[in-house]
Amino acid sequence: MISISKPIQRVFILGMDGAGNFIQNTETPNIDAFLQKGAVTYNAQAQSPTISAECWGSILHGVLPEKHQLNNDIAATQVYPSDSPYPSVFRLAREAWPEAKLAAFSSWTPINSGIIEEDLGIHKESLPDAELVGAIQTYLEQNNDVKLLYMQLDEPDGSGHKFGYGPDSPEYLTAISKNDELFGLVLGSIEKLGLLEDSLVILLTDHGGGGDNKYSHGSDHPMDKNVFWGCVGPGIEAGVALPDLFIVDTAAVAAYALGLKQPDSWDAKVPASLFSKLGV
C-alpha cells in the first residue's frame, strides 16, 4: 500500500466496447455532462492490435498485449493464470484487502472468465447490456461499500461489426447513444447512493473501428486507435488536459486512486497532469 492524502474510497471503471471517439458524433448527454466535471480526452490511444481481448487485457492488467498474451480465442477458452507476473488491478485490490467487495459486470463473457482472474472472490455477472445495468443497480443498492467495480457494455462493437463503424453509420451511432442512456442509469445510481464525492469514476472504451475495414477493427488506423477516456473524482480538476494517454494507463490510475503500489512489471503510468492537486 502507498500513502496518499486523498479521500477516494472506491473506483468504478465503466466501459463500452468498440466506441472509439465517436461519442463526439452522436448524442451522449449523460457521458458529456458527467465528464465536464473532470478530465477527458478524445484522443487516448488503444493498444495494438486494436482488438477487444488485447485492449481490455491491457486496461485491467496494466501491461501491453505482448506481455499479457491475451487474444479473443485465449480469453474465450482459458482462465487467466492467478500466478501471472502481470496481475490485474482486481488481484492487487484483493491482496491488499482480503475482505473487500470487488465486482465485475461484463456483457462479453470472456472478460469475466478469461481476462479477470478466478478464485479472487470477485462478484461476476455476464448479461446483455440492459440486463447487466439492472444487475449493477441492484448490486450497488445492496453493496454500496464496494471497493472496485468494473462494467463493460458490448453493443457498440456488435453494431459496428454488423452495420459499420464511424460517423456515417447511423445504426452504430444509435448503439452508442443507447449505451449512453445505460451509463446514465449507472451514474445515477452512484450519485443517488451518495458515492460520487469519494469515488473515482473512469469512463472509457477499448478501441474504435472502421479504419482499414468498415466492419471491423484491429489496425493502427486512427479510427481504430483513437478513443475517448475520462474520469471524475477527488483531486481531479475539471478540464485538465490528458496528452499522451494510453488505455493501458487505466490500471495505474485505478491502482493509484486506491492507494495500491503498482507492480514493477506494469507498463501503465499515471498521467502527470491528472491528480494535479495531489502533486502527482
HSE-CB at 150 with a 13 A cutoff on CA atoms is 30
Q: Does 209 fall in a domain?
A: yes
Residue in 113, 147, 153, 158 with CA at minimum distance from that of residue 133: 153
Cα separation, 171 vs 219, whole angstroms: 22
Q: Does 268 fall in a domain?
A: yes
Does residue 76 carry a pLDDT above 90? yes
Does residue 6 carry a pLDDT above 60? no
Q: Does 5 fall in a domain?
A: no
Name the percent of the chain lying above pLDDT 70: 96
Q: Does 4 fall in a domain?
A: no
State how many domains the chain has.
1
* Mean local confidence (pLDDT), 103-109: 98
> Residue 5 — very low, low, confident or very high, per pLDDT cuts 50/70/90?
very low
Q: Does 14 fall in a domain?
A: yes
End-to-end CA, the chain = 16
Q: Does 234 fall in a domain?
A: yes
For 136-170, write each residue's pLDDT tens digit.
Answer: 999 999 999 999 999 999 999 999 999 999 999 99
Q: What is the pLDDT of residue 278?
A: 47
Q: What is the pLDDT of residue 275?
A: 84
Q: What is the pLDDT of residue 273?
A: 86
Structural domain containing residue 271? 10-278
For 185-227, write each residue's pLDDT tens digit.
Answer: 999 999 999 999 999 999 999 999 999 999 999 999 999 999 9
Name the percent of the chain lying above pLDDT 90: 93
Q: What is the pLDDT of residue 277?
A: 54
Q: Does 3 fall in a domain?
A: no
For 23-72, write each residue's pLDDT tens digit.
Answer: 999 999 999 999 999 999 999 999 999 999 999 999 999 999 999 999 99
CATH for 165? 3.40.720.10
Q: Does 1 fall in a domain?
A: no
